[in-house]
Structure 1
Amino acid sequence: MARAAPFPVALLLCLALACGADAARKTVGVYELKNKKGDFSIKVTNWGATLMSVIVPDSKGNLADVVLGYDTLAEYVDGSSAFGTVVGRVANRIANGSFVLDGKTIHLNKDGTTVLHGGHRGFNRVIWTVKEYVPSGDSPYITLYYRSFNGEQGFPGDLDVYVTYQLSSPYHLSARMNATALNKATPVNLANHAYWNVGGHGSGDVLGQVIQVLASRYTPVDRSMIPTGEVAPVSGTPYDLRAPTPLGSRVRLVSGAGMAGFDINYAVDGWDGDGGLRKVAAVRDPASRRALELWADQPGVQLYTSNWLSGVKGKGGAVYGQYGAVCLETQGFPDAVNHPNFPSQIVRPGQVYRHHMVFKFSF
């Protein structure tokens, strides 16, 4: 399919960023994808390969934006919530900011005692290149590219990274990520950090929504949110969400880093590394009857219930508070580089890391 010109009402800014002189000359834009019917659309920016909005109908045909976010690009650049971004080179936490690879200790640029989501200038804090953009039609899509350089945030080797967002019928949004290691072995674990509220981004908390996570095991963590190395059964614990469960009935029975709420990685049932998609989780809002199913090909999914969100000014004057959304981040297991029993995240020169997820909406 031929490339299309940039979306005619795309907001284009030249940002003077502390990312090096070359990056300061790159252009950041907002790009929209829309289905033929006009009732399903998303907006994406190449700042952090960020999913800015997802607009879908409810059972009465009312449209709502179901991801949290900001009104302006400047707020995405300055914001600390990582709404909708792609995080990497390694999502989640790496203990002590270090690991051993092929007998050599790799020291990363850590913040405090760990590295979170690739470091303070991870993939969510850089400008991506728009490689292809088809805004409408049967399957509109956008493909973004980033070259991560050897030593970026301490990670070894050059890495070519692509992310493609695509709409398809009836109301499916897919995100495909791949990364090729060019010259050195390196860990790769990308994730999308969208904050979902299927009732609508400004509809309040999600405690009345019903969640299901198709996982019989999870990876317990210590006080620093680092996995202990155990892969434990959820049976008999508040983490058991295999049956549809109102979030409000469990959210105060669990905690992460001392704050009540979910912030934990689940081991997805049935994953065997074959690259096939499996149903990972589902969320349903009883009020609007809008629902989301997540399918993916990764071994884990991080469930985070926005425990630390507080008084954040969002889109359209909405103010996002605690439990205002759920994050469902399909991923490799956190800190896998320091746990040989976890599925490996190491990608060797010439190998390609792949991560495919599909968000299926219904109402």
Structure 2
Amino acid sequence: MVRVVEDVFGIAVNPMTQKTDHVRRFTLCSEKGMSVAILTLGGIIQSIRVPDANAKLEDVCLGYDDVAGYYRNQKFYIGAIIGRVADRVARGRFSLCSKDISLSRNHKDHYHLNGGYVGFDSVIWDVVGIHKDGVTFQHVSPDGHEGYPGEVTVNINYSLNEAGCLGLRIEARAKETTCINIGHHCLFNLAGHSSGRDTLYQHMIMIKANKIVDTDLEQIPTGKLMPTRNTPYDFSTLTNLGKRLNQVNRCPISGFDNNYCVDVDPNQVKLVARAVHPCSGRFVEIHTNQPGVHFSTANGLPQEDRGDVPHVGKGGAHYSQHSAFCLQTQKYPDAMNNPEFPTVIINPGQLYDHQVVYRFGACPKRV
């Protein structure tokens, strides 16, 4: 039976109200030892403790020990809910209902990124339900916020079960036609959040896709889809991540930062990706009803071996480039400017329904 334990993680100023508020933490605990801690700040998943093949517990997601850590490193979005629209919007502009929409250009004053200056990652969410297996958060995004039209109400239900499944169901409704594409940016290392790049290179990754969204040097989609067969981007079968990272290290981006196009039914949650750490036996499977999986490898974290200033996380751990991975379920980036992509447009009364399940477990270690 899952238990839900609440405590106060810290105090922060809510950017939507400019008032000081408590940041609440809810820890979901299973009888098998797995636990997940979720913050009202940004809807952040702050820790995920998972047993290995020998029942040894490790925290497998990156994060910080206090509110100051999250504010200090906000640009990395670690563990947070991303929205209204995840990823990039070219020039921060698009056309909707014959109107030109201008969004905040919060990245290099050139394009809109991950919801703008005050996205879903930096607000303090309201708690609207505490359940036997989880919690439900809510945020009301006002009309015109960061340039988006229409008031939007978002509810996120977090749940955990004894089978090791961490579920997020993200639902949203808008009062007028707008764009919604919400993501969850959890950074994982199944060997343990503090174990670094060497252990990440041991991971095996599978993504059930044979195309990625083609982008330019600014990571803005060109409108084309690029086949992955016979390229370093092919993870259609379980593949060693270290080998693939070594193949792309000389590309314009050192590492992976790509939207994979997966074949799913929006009314059905399907397996789209799997990651395994053979040395510990831990694995995670990603199940979703979304058509995209943005795969990234913490490329923006510092390279301490080249003299960069260390990035300090939970328990004093040093987080470095390629020390973790993210498999963020979403629709394609910049979809409002690419009508051939799955739509991110939501009309009044229409339900935005994003489901993702992270199924954690452990299999026998390889000898």
TM bin (shorter chain)? over 0.9
Q: Which residue of 2 aligns with 1:126?
A: 123
Q: Structure 1 residue runs of 4+, over 4 Å off? A: none
Q: Which residue of 2 aligns with 1:165?
A: 158
Paired AA for residue 72 in structure 2: D
Change (3 A) 1:264 1:220: same
3-state SS in 2 of match to 1:176: strand
Whole-angstrom CA distance in 1 between matches of 2:315 and 2:253: 28
Alpha carbons 2:164, 2:360 under 8 Å: kept: yes
Pairwise CA distance, 1:83: 1.0
Alpha carbons 1:33, 1:141 under 8 Å: kept: yes
* 1:296 equivalenced with 2:288 (yes/no): yes
The CA deviation string for residues 31-90 of structure 1, in whole angstroms up to 9 with x for no partner, is 1111134x0111111000100001110000000011000011221123232111000000
Alpha carbons 2:274, 2:283 under 8 Å: kept: yes
Q: Which residue of 2 aligns with 1:241?
A: 235
Alpha carbons 2:69, 2:313 under 8 Å: kept: no
Counterpart among 257, 260, 269 of residue 266 in structure 1: 260
Query: Any residues of structure 2 matched to 1:62-211 within 5 Å, and which?
Result: 62-80=56-74, 81-111=76-106, 112-134=109-131, 140-182=133-175, 184-205=176-197, 206-211=200-205
Paired AA for residue 124 in structure 1: D
The CA deviation string for residues 166-216 of structure 1, in whole angstroms up to 9 with x for no partner, is 00121110111011012x101100000000111110111211111011101
Paired AA for residue 244 in structure 1: L
Whole-angstrom CA distance in 1 between matches of 2:11 and 2:313: 23
Whole-angstrom CA distance in 2 between matches of 1:107 and 1:257: 32
Query: Any residues of structure 2 matched to 1:47-58 within 5 Å, and which?
Result: 47-58=41-52
Pairwise CA distance, 1:257: 8.4
Whole-angstrom CA distance in 2 between matches of 1:167 and 1:302: 23
Whole-angstrom CA distance in 2 between matches of 1:230 and 1:320: 34
3-state SS in 2 of match to 1:161: strand
* 1:16 equivalenced with 2:13 (yes/no): yes
Query: Any residues of structure 2 matched to 1:27-46 within 5 Å, and which?
Result: 27-37=22-32, 39-46=33-40
Q: Which residue of 2 aligns with 1:227?
A: 221
5+ residue gaps, structure 1: none
Higher strand share: 2
Alpha carbons 1:199, 1:288 under 8 Å: kept: yes
Paired AA for residue 208 in structure 1: Q
Alpha carbons 1:71, 1:316 under 8 Å: kept: yes
Whole-angstrom CA distance in 1 between matches of 2:37 and 2:93: 36
Change (3 A) 1:256 1:44: farther
Q: Which residue of 1 aligns with 2:315?
A: 316
Alpha carbons 2:11, 2:67 under 8 Å: kept: no
TM-score by length of 2: 0.91
Pairwise CA distance, 1:14: 3.7
Alpha carbons 2:8, 2:22 under 8 Å: kept: no
Alpha carbons 1:252, 1:260 under 8 Å: kept: no
The CA deviation string for residues 248-302 of structure 1, in whole angstroms up to 9 with x for no partner, is 111133369833110000100x3243x2111111111111011111010000000
Alpha carbons 1:256, 1:263 under 8 Å: kept: no
3-state SS in 2 of match to 1:74: helix
Whole-angstrom CA distance in 2 between matches of 1:149 and 1:255: 42
Q: Which residue of 1 aligns with 2:365?
A: none
Change (3 A) 1:16 1:256: farther
Q: Which residue of 2 aligns with 1:26?
A: 21
TM-score by length of 1: 0.92
Paired AA for residue 217 in structure 1: K
Whole-angstrom CA distance in 2 between matches of 1:345 and 1:16: 31
Alpha carbons 1:255, 1:262 under 8 Å: kept: no
Whole-angstrom CA distance in 2 between matches of 1:309 and 1:358: 26
3-state SS in 1 of match to 2:8: coil
Whole-angstrom CA distance in 1 between matches of 2:39 and 2:150: 26
3-state SS in 2 of match to 1:216: strand
